[in-house]
Amino acid sequence: MAGNIAGLIVAAFLMAHLAGPVLARARWLRRHPGVAVAVWAGVVAGVVVVLLALTGSVLAWPPGPVHSWVEHLRSCLPGHTHSGELATMTLAVLSGGALLRALLHGAARARRTIAERRRHHDMVRLIARYPDDPSDVCLIEHPAPVVYCLSQRSRPIVMTTGTLERLDAYQLSAVLEHERTHLRRRHHLLLAVVDAVQAALPWSATLRHARSELSRLVEMVADDAAAHRYGPAPVIGALRSLELRSGPPGGLAAAGETRELLEQRIARLESGEVPGRLSVGAAIALACPPLFGLIVIAVGLQLSC
């Protein structure tokens, strides 16, 4: 048991503190933003799996509170004694308390995001009008060209009248495809989950990098989808015409929030850098997080008495 816990501590350190900074420096992965999103999601899941496995192992360490249940299930109580009972019980209590605290912080962040998104949606409904076409857009009278989408079933794309005046037909189609890609691929859900996990585990460098990188990568994924359907020129024109605005909680704005990221996206589209055939390195990176998670689970299941 002690060996398993030591191994999980090392794995937790590697995943929670080193994996993110190393992956953030892998510039080649950004050539495949869709793959990069999957890799980062896998790394976040790996951090959670490792920490849960570590906490579960500590709680099951004799004579931890879970170990008595394991002993009854495995009938391993007769014939052995335990040492260091006070130390292991203290460690189990601290681990359980840390897990509970993290869960409460993550749940509070998720509830706050959902509540803010609902309030914003209610405000939009008060001032928006609903055109017959497109049927997934609600229109707000405002001269600033702004487009963003919210995670909701009815009219998820919010657009201003200034957008209609500034963009031509192809640019408008491209920016709508951009937002629909966010909705189809559940980018709102992914970012909300990562945000909640990062709030629960604010000390993790990997999760801080994941939150930042995923916000950047999902925009590139949506750009690629729009460029694939309508060509890069309308996407570039739309991005240059739209205003930078801070998106609502849980919303994804087409132009984004920072000039630096917008210029990077435009430069990428202008260079013709589109996802090509999956490289060997990208395939290995995509396979590593799930494989690592399976290894951790296998180690965690070897809970010897």
Q: Max Cα separation, the chain?
A: 81
Q: Looking at residue 303, what is its pLDDT?
A: 47
Cβ-contact 103, 109 below 8 angstroms: no
pLDDT for 103-152, tens place per residue?
Answer: 787 788 878 877 887 887 778 888 888 888 888 899 999 999 999 988 87
Work out the pLDDT band at 256, boundaries 50, 70, 90.
confident
The helix/strand/coil state of 284 is helix
Work out the pLDDT band at 209, boundaries 50, 70, 90.
very high
Distances (CA, A) of 69 to 61, 78, 92, 95, 124: 11, 14, 14, 18, 52
Q: Looking at residue 253, what is its pLDDT?
A: 82
236 vs 20: which has the higher pLDDT: 236
Q: Write the DSSP symbol of residue 79.
A: T
Parallel, antiparallel, or unpaired: how do β-strands 137-140 and 147-149 relate? unpaired
Mean pLDDT along residues 249-261: 80
Q: For residues 206 and 15, what is the distance between their CA atoms, to the nearest angstrom? A: 7
Cβ-contact 204, 198 below 8 angstroms: yes
pLDDT for 279-296, tens place per residue?
Answer: 445 555 555 655 555 555
Q: For residues 293 and 15, what is the distance between their CA atoms, to the nearest angstrom? A: 10
Q: For residues 75 and 5, what is the distance between their CA atoms, to the nearest angstrom? A: 22
Q: For residues 19 and 206, what is the distance between their CA atoms, to the nearest angstrom? A: 6
DSSP 136-191: TEEEE--SS--EEE-S-SSS-EEEEHHHHHHS-HHHHHHHHHHHHHHHHTTHHHHH
pLDDT exceeds cutoff 70 at 301: no
Q: Would you give the end-to-end CA distance of the chain in angstroms?
A: 7
The helix/strand/coil state of 129 is strand
Q: Write the DSSP symbol of residue 248.
A: P
Stated pTM of the model: 0.78
pLDDT for 167-193, tens place per residue?
Answer: 999 999 999 999 999 999 999 889 999
